[in-house]
Chains A and B, each alone.
Chain A
Amino acid sequence: GAVVSQHPSWVICKSGTSVKIECRSLDFQATTMFWYRQFPKQSLMLMATSNEGSKATYEQGVEKDKFLINHASLTLSTLTVTSAHPEDSSFYICSAEDRGSNYGYTFGSGTRLTVV
Chain B
Amino acid sequence: TQLLKQSPQFLSIQEGENLTVYCNSSSVFSSLQWYRQEPGEGPVLLVTVVTGGEVKKLKRLTFQFGDARKDSSLHITAAQPGDTGLYLCAGVGSARQLTFGSGTQLTVLP
Contacts and interface: CB of A to CB of B under 8 A. Distances in A.
A112 B42 CA distance: 11
* 6 cross-chain pairs, A with B, having the tightest CB-CB distances, nearest first: A107-B42, A43-B103, A103-B48, A44-B100, A43-B100, A93-B42
A103 B92 contact: yes
Given A97-B96, A103-B48, A42 B103 contact: yes
A104 interface: yes
Dominant SS at the A interface? strand
Contacts, number: 54
A72 interface: no
Contacts of A41: 105
Interface of B: 2, 31, 33, 40-45, 48, 50, 88, 92, 95-103, 105
B3 to A, nearest CB: 11
Interface residues of A, number: 26
Interface of A: 4, 6, 32, 34, 36, 41-46, 49, 57, 91, 93, 95, 97, 103-110, 112
